[in-house]
Structure 1
Amino acid sequence: MDDAPNLKILKSEVLSDNWGTLTKYTYELLRRDGAWQEQIREVYDRGHGAACLLYNPQTGCVLLTRQFRLPVFVARRPAHVIEAPAGLLEGENPAARMRAELIEETGFDVSELEHVYDLAMSPGSVSEFLSFFRGTYSLKDQVGEGGGDPHEGEDIEVLHVPLQKALGMIETGCIFDAKTVILLQDLHIRLTAGLLTQPDGA
């Protein structure tokens, strides 16, 4: 924050420090008209994370998960959310952490992942950046049942969904998780452009 000449942090106050840290900042921001304006905002810091979409070129399926999400329930939306596998980095290398998360959540072990980009997921209130990955998988890569870690309250259903069906689920609202929509659309664009292999008859 010291490299922002248009920002003066006046005060910070930690409001909560449990699973993540919620901090209230009082600061002055230099507006484009040259005036300094005092503002108060809250920032939630839970660390950075990674997400990955695996695609099976032989079947045309993508590997997704479904699990209960309390914040979605509180927002009065369908709370069992279909998502691409994801997890917090907890200080680890993003690619290594993502491979471990894939095994834990889906039971599939893939050695090579391609880093796509790092994106801010909710820059107005959350400090998290998410590292996006993509890769391919086959049924022979399965090393376990997946399902997540019960000690962390995870109860994850593993889904093999045809890509075209998954894209249709975005249109109908069955898939509404932002990271998953981004990865599915990125995969569709690359397949359409001939940059990746499609199954016969796709």
Structure 2
Amino acid sequence: MASLEWKTLSSEYIYKSNWLTARKDTCETPSGKIVDAYYVLEYNDWVNCVAVTADGRIVMVRQFRQGIGKTVLEIPGGTMDDTDPNPEFAMRRELLEETGYDFEKLIPLGAVAPNPASSNNLTHMFLATGGRKVQEQDLDENEEIEVVLMDLEDVETLLKENKILQSLHVTCLFYALLKLKELKL
């Protein structure tokens, strides 16, 4: 098979902040075509998790999402901080902050690329089991999150009815459902 890799000839940062970095690359394709302006969004990696309590409930979160202007139901997750040593640490931190729950076991489900055409990051997915509430939420300054405990069957119904809009969370739910079936939890 021939290589399809592009060669980056130059990169120029257009905007840099904690939440968004945008750059313009000049690239050369394998056939020699010069792509003068290819835009890439740089983000820290993200984490998300299907969290199951000790009594078998699924921990979901409701929050407003400005991008689509709606309050949506999601699974816990967030951005890895620069100080997080690895995705599991970041996920445990996010679970405590967003939900107040700690989990006996965190099972990695792999990683997916949110949008590999224009973004550079990965989302690391997990299944957490044996959850117990150990503290109150410790939310970031702009977060307002409602914790919702649901039966697995109700979450599956929401998926079937296309009522969970966050595609990265739907992907994690898919992998977690496969793992739960394998584990027979």
TM-score normalized by the length of structure 1 = 0.80
Structure 2 unaligned blocks of 5 or more: none
1:58 equivalenced with 2:58 (yes/no): no
Deviation at 1:57, TM superposition (A): 6.0
1:43 paired residue among 34, 40, 43: 40
Aligned residues: 179
Aligned counterparts, 1:57-136, within 5 A: 58-59=55-56, 61-73=57-69, 79-91=70-82, 92=84, 93-136=86-129
Query: 2:155 is matched with which residue?
Result: 166
Identity of aligned residues (%): 27
Query: 1:76 is matched with which residue?
Result: none
The structure with more strand, counted as a fraction of residues: 2
Deviation at 1:148, TM superposition (A): 2.2
Structure 1 unaligned blocks of 5 or more: 74-78, 198-202
2:109–2:176 CA contact under 8 A, matched in 1: no
CA distances 1:133-192 after superposition (whole Å, capped 9, x unpaired): 111134xx212232622x2x0000101111111121122232121222122222333344
RMSD: 2.0
Q: Which has the larger radius of gyration?
A: 1
Residue aligned with 2:173, SS? helix
Residue aligned with 2:11, SS? strand
TM-score normalized by the length of structure 2 = 0.87
**Paired AA for residue 56 in structure 1:** T
1:147–1:157 CA contact under 8 A, matched in 2: no
